Every structure is written in C-alpha cells, then in structure tokens.
C-alpha cells in the first residue's frame, strides 16, 4: 500500500495562519456555505471585520489557498468562539486543532482567561475537538439552532 510520501502526497504542506482580511471574504463564504446549513452572509463577515472591535478572525491557507477560518469575540476576560470551519476535503487532518490553538493564544494575548462556545449536540467531530482541548459541557441553550430545532451545548475552557 505504501505511505503517503511514497504515493506522492507531501507529508508537510505549506500552511499559513493569519488574520482574516476583507479580501478573504469570498473564499471564506465558500467554506461557510459548505460547512453550515444556515451560513453567515457576506455582510455579516464584513461587519465582523470592519465594525466589530470585539471580533478576531483567522484564516488558514494551504499553498496559498484559503481552506478554513475561525473567529472569536474578546469580551473583558472571556473569549467567545463564533465559528470554526474547514473545507470538507481538509477536515480530519488536525487543522481544526491548529486553528483552535491559534485562537486560544490570541485570546490569551488579549487578556482572556476563559473561552466559551456553543455547539450542536449532533456535531460529534466538533465536540470531540473541543473536548480533547479541555473544553467541558456546562449547559444547554434550548432551541439555539431554531432553524434545525436543535439545542446548543455550552462548552467552557477555563484557565487559558
């Protein structure tokens, strides 16, 4: 069968994680629309980047192509994760963990001591990602995802 390297697949790719810019929105919308049943609009991302002083967004590029993004709001000493998304073909490679670690580091620099998020109970991959990093379930927001009739689990990571 062989290893990925022996099959011509590079073991290490050219990755770049950097702050999101307005010119990234078109590519971010592709990721968004492939990732969520009720995706954010272009206007929502524009407002986050241009007008929301609490918002901090990162993108991950591979070989110059935007393949994912993540964001959070920094409110006093808490960071609230808003989104984490990757192109479907890029999932399962540890890139979500990489984005999450970069968000945690950025939140610490901004003075956050804890991080929170909401996640669908049915989103097992995301729940596993957050649990592996130490997030714990601390509550439920009933009907948070009203369009799907689904509650949200509230997860927290203390002592960033």
Q: Regarding predicted confidence, which is higher, 12 or 65? A: 65
Instruction: State mean pLDDT over 80-95.
Output: 96
In a domain, 5, yes or no: no
Catalytic hit among 57, 69, 130, 145: 130
Question: What is the full DSSP assignment across 104-151?
Answer: HHHHHHTT-SEEEEEE-TT-HHHHHHHHHTT-EEEEEEEEEEGGGTEE
In a domain, 91, yes or no: yes
What angle (nearest 5°) sits at the alpha carbon of residue 160, between those of residues 97 and 106? 65
Average pLDDT, the chain: 92
Q: What is the DSSP letter of 37?
A: S
In a domain, 8, yes or no: no
In the residue annotation, 46 being an active-site residue is answered as: no
Q: pTM of the prediction?
A: 0.88
Instruction: State mean pLDDT over 44-53.
Output: 97
**What pLDDT score was predicted for residue 147?**
81
Instruction: State mean pLDDT over 114-132.
Output: 95
CATH number at residue 144: 3.40.630.30
In the residue annotation, 23 being an active-site residue is answered as: no
Domain that holds residue 87: 13-158
Catalytic hit among 61, 118, 137, 150: 118
């Amino acid at each position: 069968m062989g290893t990925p390297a022996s099959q011509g697949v590079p073991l290490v790719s050219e990755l770049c994680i950097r702050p999101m810019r307005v010119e990234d929105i078109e590519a971010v919308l592709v990721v968004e629309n492939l990732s969520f049943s009720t995706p954010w609009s272009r206007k929502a991302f524009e407002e986050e980047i241009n007008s929301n002083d609490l918002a901090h967004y990162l993108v991950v590029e591979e070989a110059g192509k935007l393949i994912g993004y993540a964001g959070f709001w920094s409110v006093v000493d808490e960071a609230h994760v808003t989104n984490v998304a990757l192109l479907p073909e890029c999932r399962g490679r540890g890139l979500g963990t990489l984005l999450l670690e970069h968000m945690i580091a950025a939140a610490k620099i901004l003075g956050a001591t804890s991080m929170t998020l909401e996640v669908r109970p049915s989103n097992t991959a995301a729940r596993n990602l957050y649990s592996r990093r130490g997030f714990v379930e601390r509550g439920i927001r009933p009907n948070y995802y009203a369009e799907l009739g689904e509650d949200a689990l509230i997860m927290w990571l203390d002592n960033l």
